[in-house]
Structure 1
Amino acid sequence: MTNDSGCHERIFFFDIDNCLYSPELGIDRLMKERIFALGRDIGLDSHSVEDTCNNYYKDYGLTVRGLVKHHGVDAAAFNGQVNGSLPIESLISPDPALRQMLLSIKTRRWAFTNADIDHARRVLKSLEVDDLFEGITFCDYSEPDFACKPERIAYEKAMREAGVVDARLCYFADDNAQNIEAAIKTGWTSVLVAKKSDKLGSATIEHHIEAIHELPLVLPHLFA
């Protein structure tokens, strides 16, 4: 999806998982359990499957990239056994405060996730904010060597799909410090959403909040 009319307007890219909802919901843990189970199902050693999957995450940005690249895992099978099996609707509730915050921001709004499109839509719908985003930049796991955060090409893809050419117009919120650092290098104004006890990454991180609802505290000029 593109929006040429908005190419000169400020735009806010929002990560979805563990950013628009609290990581305390445990969705990340459930996802990892399913990924490890899939690894065992395709023949990875049960004693080292967690290390193998975690190394793929570090090397490729997403575990699924390593599973596809080195083990021929089918993207549809991955989505079915991992993302598609998550009980999103029973874990994530509508968030009126999030909705109000998004409505009050004086920029365009765009979702930017490393998840697949179906998972992204399920989460946004469960939060009841799916109607507030112009579009979603997502990962198509069926594409060979698909781009994902924190690769620079992923940020360029998000800008291209959103129809924006000036990085100085881009704002970004994510729970992953590496993703934030990559966005800063791309020229985006970025906000890390994470508990203070979590690893915050390098000193280059511009803004830090513990929950997405606190966004107006660090970027007050963007809100009505």
Structure 2
Amino acid sequence: MEYEDRYRQVQRPKYDCLLFDLDDTLYPLSSGLAAAVLKNIQDYMIEKLGIEESKIPDLCNLLYKNYGTTMAGLRAIGYDFDYDEYHRFVHGRLPYENLKPDPVLRSLLLSLPIRKVIFTNADKVQAIKALRHLGLEDCFEGIICFETLNPTHKNTASDDEDDMEFLGLTRSSSVTNGSCEIFDIIGHFSQPDAGSSGLPKTPIVCKPSESCIERALKIANIDPQRTLFFEDSIRKIQSGKRVGLDTVLVGKSQRVKGADYALESIHNLREAIPELWEADKIAEVSYSGVNPVETSVTA
């Protein structure tokens, strides 16, 4: 018995969780959804927030660069809006018909005898729609999404992790836009020697923040030392690496700093990382009970 225990320990698979970004990771950038998202964000800023059209390109660039998402940056500099309304405007009109069922990726995912979780900055509705159009809605245990990490609409970031829920089943509440002053981030960076140290903080939790990734791992009970993180963003890959995740950069053929693997396409998964399928063989030899988990994604 002691020998069997030692044998099983030696044969233990390297990873027990695969953490996947969704947009531009499980489907290619060429789908056009990312370009449509940007267009919708810009339209929202003009139509709903009254921002001058001439300022939009520079503003979007600075907000994304410094806060991870334009939405997080807008909240940081003083704009207040209903999160659900924003997501309906930005994601509700996307050309989801551009996403086609992907039986090859579906087969790959279902053949992996490892826990699989989606981790996206998008809202739950958008994530589920995309997965359904791809035919992948039953390939994952669950979704860590915007609502998971931002369960209520607050003026300051919450440190209370008890109000967070895996799969994002809570809804954000509405706060009216007050007369708060808007921080001039364009003017800030036009000053000599301007840096990010003087920028206001955002109440929104999102990638590539390291604290966001750490919080997501805690909510979903994921061990970073035994997890492989798939992302198309170099910044997010590098943040994941800093919190202890092994990382896969998707959409690039060459590895960059912080990436343990690089896949030109998610379809290259088996060729690039064949050891992921070793867990199946280990289970058969050592009788360790590693079985694919029956999964579902619910609306």
Instruction: Tell me the residue number matched to 1:204.
Output: 258
2:248 to 176, 191, 194: 191
Task: Report the identity percentage.
Answer: 31
Q: Which runs of 5+ in 1 are unaligned?
A: 1-7
Partner Cα distance (2:73, 2:258) in 1: 29
Give the match for residue 174 of structure 2.
Answer: none
After superposition, what is the alpha-carbon deviation per residue over 1:173-193, rounded to whole angstroms, capped at 9, x for unaligned?
010001001111111111001
Contact 1:189 1:206 in 2 (8 A): yes
Superposition TM-score, scaled by structure 2 size: 0.67
1:3 corresponds to: none
Q: After TM superposition, where is structure 1 displaced by more than 4 Å over at least 4 residues in a row?
A: none
- Structure 2 CA distance for aligned equivalents of residues 38 and 27 of structure 1: 16
What secondary structure sits across from 2:146 in the alignment?
A: coil
CA shift at 1:107, angstroms? Answer: 1.3
1:154 partnered with 2:195 = no
Other-structure match for 2:137: 130
**CA positional deviation for 1:205:** 2.0
Question: CA RMSD, aligned part only?
Answer: 1.9
1:141-165 residue CA offsets vs partner (Å, 9 max, x unmatched): 654423211111222222223222x
Shift of 1:53: 1.6
Match of 2:61 among 54, 61, 67: 54
In the alignment, is the contact (CA less than 8 A) between 1:68 and 1:74 conserved in 2? no
Aligned-partner Cα distance in 1 for 2:57–2:259: 29
Of 71, 81, 85, the match for 2:89:
81
Q: Of 205, 222, 230, which residue of structure 2 is paired with 1:173? A: 230
2:291 alignment partner in structure 1: none
How many residues are treated as equivalent by the alignment? Answer: 212
1:119 to 120, 123, 126: 126
Q: For residue 230 of structure 2, what is the amino acid of its counterpart?
A: A
Question: AA paired with 2:266?
Answer: I
TM-score norm. by structure 1 comes to 0.88
CA distance in 2, matches of 1:26, 1:187: 32
Pairing partner for 1:71 from 66, 79, 94:
79
Q: Any idea what SS the aligned residue of 2:88 has?
A: helix
Q: What amino acid sits opposite 1:184 in the alignment?
A: K
Q: Distance in 2 between matches of 1:34 and 1:11?
A: 34
* 2: CA distance, partners of 1:209 / 1:57: 24
3-state DSSP of counterpart to 2:235: helix
Is residue 60–residue 66 contact of structure 1 (8 Å, CA) maintained in 2?
A: yes
Distance in 1 between residues matched to 2:255 and 2:239, nearest whole Å = 11
State the alpha-carbon separation in 2 of the partners of residues 143 and 68 from structure 1: 11
Task: Answer with 1 or 2: which has the greater Rg.
Answer: 2
Query: For the residues of structure 2 that align with 1:201 and 1:60, how far apart are their CA atoms?
Result: 25
What residue ranges of structure 2 are gaps of 5+ in the alignment?
1-13, 155-202, 281-299
